[in-house]
Homo-oligomer: A and B are copies of this chain.
Amino acid sequence: MTAPIADNMGRFAPVVEGRDRRGDLILVCDHAANAFPAPWGDLGLSDDQRRAHIAWDPGALGLMRGLAARMDAACVHATVSRLIYDCNRAPDMAGAMPARSEVHDIPGNAAISPEDRLARTRAVYQPFHAALHDLIADRIALGRRPAIITVHSFTPVYHGVARAVEFGVIHDADPALAQSIVAEARARTRLNTDLNAPYSAADDVTHTLRLQATPYGLSNAMLEIRNDLIATPEAEASMADTLAPVLSAALARLKEA
């Protein structure tokens, strides 16, 4: 992955791809990157830690791009590690700039000054959500009502416990799309699929949906794929082949309802 570059205001804009695609779907990958650019650098983490799931969602970016290509959807992804700023968290949530993630202390986040909290919010969080909001508002201005789907991955073993679920679908206030995706996944795939697993909105993991989709009444859902199933480019493509028809059928079902 190439290093992200800040603009002349020190802001790390997300990458928007497929802006002109015609599908009424916007895919979002909050945790696409494990880049640790200046002025923060590696936060005192080892190479192994910076490659691990605590820094990003391995496989999620490739899967999202595969889904976007198959579904003619625009997509947006962050370019900076979630350990510098997690764009799926509000600035006052502990997880926005976490001091600890699973079993790992994050030395560079142990004592963040108010000035640095503000600087990270301005450099990463604000431009990410401004770009996503602009993309959504563009489509709404043209009379389109895009569904918003965020794409994440989770670790097979968390705090020493193996997770059996392979595909989790999480909802915020409006459960309709998430429920449809679960139903279609169970009907069309052999993935071990669960609603609101391996965690749910009660764990404060739906900030992006709450900020971007809910105010406009747009259908929305958060996908979680177990990362051992999308560990190579070939596996990402295969999972996109599996899930694109699931998402398309779920969206079509909502339109009929």
Flag if A91 contacts B215 (CB, 8 Å): no
- What is the minimal beta-carbon distance from A204 to any residue of chain B, in angstroms? 11
| Residue from A90, A134, A207, A215 whose CB has the most chain B CB atoms within 10 Å | A215
Is A160 close to B, CB under 8 A? no
Query: Given the complex of chains A and B, what is the CA–CA distance between A214 and B215 in angstroms?
Result: 8
Encode A210-228 as 1/0 by CB contact (under 8 A) with B: 1100111000000000000
Q: Is the CB of B141 within 8 A of A121?
A: yes
Proximity bits, A89-113, B CB within 8 Å = 1, else 0? 0111000000000000000000000
- Option from B126, B142, B210 in Cβ contact (under 8 Å) with A137: B126
Q: How many residues of A contact B (CB 8 A)?
A: 28
**Contact, CB under 8 Å: A138 / B117:** no
A130 within 8 A of B: yes
A130 contact set on B, CB distance < 8 A? 130, 133-134
> Which chain B positions have C-beta within 8 A of A39?
none
Main secondary structure, interface of A, reads helix
Whether the pair B121, A138 counts as a contact (CB closer than 8 A) is yes
Minimum-distance CB pairs A-B, first 9? A91-B141, A121-B141, A211-B215, A91-B140, A130-B130, A118-B141, A210-B215, A117-B141, A92-B140
21 A–B contacts from the bound complex (CB under 8 Å): A90-B140, A90-B215, A91-B137, A91-B140, A92-B141, A92-B143, A92-B145, A114-B143, A117-B141, A117-B142, A118-B138, A120-B141, A121-B137, A121-B138, A122-B138, A122-B141, A125-B137, A126-B133, A126-B137, A129-B133, A211-B215
